[in-house]
């Protein structure tokens, strides 16, 4: 049985990225996965203060809601981040999660304490506009976040042209794709036929 950890990065509960992540979670659970969902906005997660203490220990000295997230990241087989695009990036709360993964980056690259667990990283996102480069910045951030936490960016579902709260319901293929993605990830299946999927080796 696979363990999923799903982060919601939008301030809007029931908004587009929330619905997308919930659909993925539903698909994963339907195939027997255990799914833990975390909304980041209500949590206290301080951005990295660059104190350098984790350089020696691989452990962050800040004590806030991130403290209980580190063990969950370690346990997870699949880590999903679902954030809307704010100014061509993930939201600031999601960015705080990313920055606090610095302690794990240190463990891996400075202290050479990498575990050998195979983790998959999945990025779900939505944006109001339809530009070609809309998700490029956020996708790059996600690639390096997943690398820091000992995962690899496996797939992205990136939905353009949704702005109003829950407008994604007008795009049933998006929610259906997320649900299918969750199920296939839980089963270890091939996701390449999912509509709207972006895989790291694809050219788009």
Which stretches of the chain bind ligand FMN, using CB under 6 A? 10, 12, 15-18, 84-88, 126-129, 134, 162-163, 165
CA–CA gap between residue 16 and residue 145 (Å, rounded): 22
* Shortest reach from residue 83's CB to ligand FMN, in Å: 8
Q: Write the CB contacts of 51 (distance below 8 Å, at least 6 apart in sequence).
A: 61
Name which of 124 and 186 has its Cβ closer to ligand FMN.
124
Q: How far is the CB of 55 from ligand FMN (least distance, A)?
A: 33
- Which CB, 31 or 165, lies closer to ligand FMN? 165
Would you say 69 or 134 has its CB closer to ligand FMN? 134
- Interior/surface letters 79-112, b for 16+ CB within 10 angstroms, e for the rest: bbbbbbbbeeebbebbbbbbbbbbbbbbbbeeee
**Rounded Cα–Cα distance for residues 57 and 71 (Å):** 16
101 or 125, CB closer to ligand FMN?
A: 125
How near is the Cβ of 129 to ligand FMN at its closest, in Å? Answer: 3
Alpha-carbon span 120 to 99, nearest angstrom: 19
Cβ 190 to ligand FMN shortest distance, Å: 28
Residue with nearest beta carbon to ligand FMN: 15
Min dist CB 193 to ligand FMN, Å, is 25
Task: Give the nearer residue to ligand FMN in terms of CB position, either 54 or 98.
Answer: 98
Q: At residue 192, what are phi and psi to the nearest 5 degrees?
A: -65, -20
Q: Which of 194, 179, 189 is nearest to 35 (CA)?
A: 179
């Amino acid at each position: 049985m696979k363990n999923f950890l799903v982060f919601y990065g939008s301030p809007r509960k029931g908004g587009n990225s929330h619905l997308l992540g919930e659909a993925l979670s539903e698909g994963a659970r339907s195939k027997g996965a255990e799914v833990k969902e975390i909304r980041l906005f209500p949590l206290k997660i301080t951005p990295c203060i660059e104190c350098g203490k984790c350089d020696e220990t691989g452990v962050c000295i800040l004590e806030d809601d991130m403290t209980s997230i580190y063990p969950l990241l370690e346990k997870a087989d699949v880590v999903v981040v679902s954030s809307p695009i704010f100014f061509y990036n993930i939201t600031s709360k999601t960015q705080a999660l990313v920055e606090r993964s610095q302690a794990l980056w240190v463990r891996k690259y400075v202290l050479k304490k990498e575990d050998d667990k195979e983790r998959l990283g999945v990025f779900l996102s939505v944006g109001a506009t339809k530009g070609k480069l809309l998700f490029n910045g956020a996708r790059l951030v996600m690639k390096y976040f997943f690398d820091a936490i000992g995962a690899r960016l496996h797939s992205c579902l990136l939905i353009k042209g949704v702005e109003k709260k829950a407008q994604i319901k007008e795009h049933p293929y998006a929610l259906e794709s997320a649900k299918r993605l969750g199920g296939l990830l839980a089963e270890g299946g091939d996701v390449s036929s999912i509509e709207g999927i972006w895989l790291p080796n694809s050219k788009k």
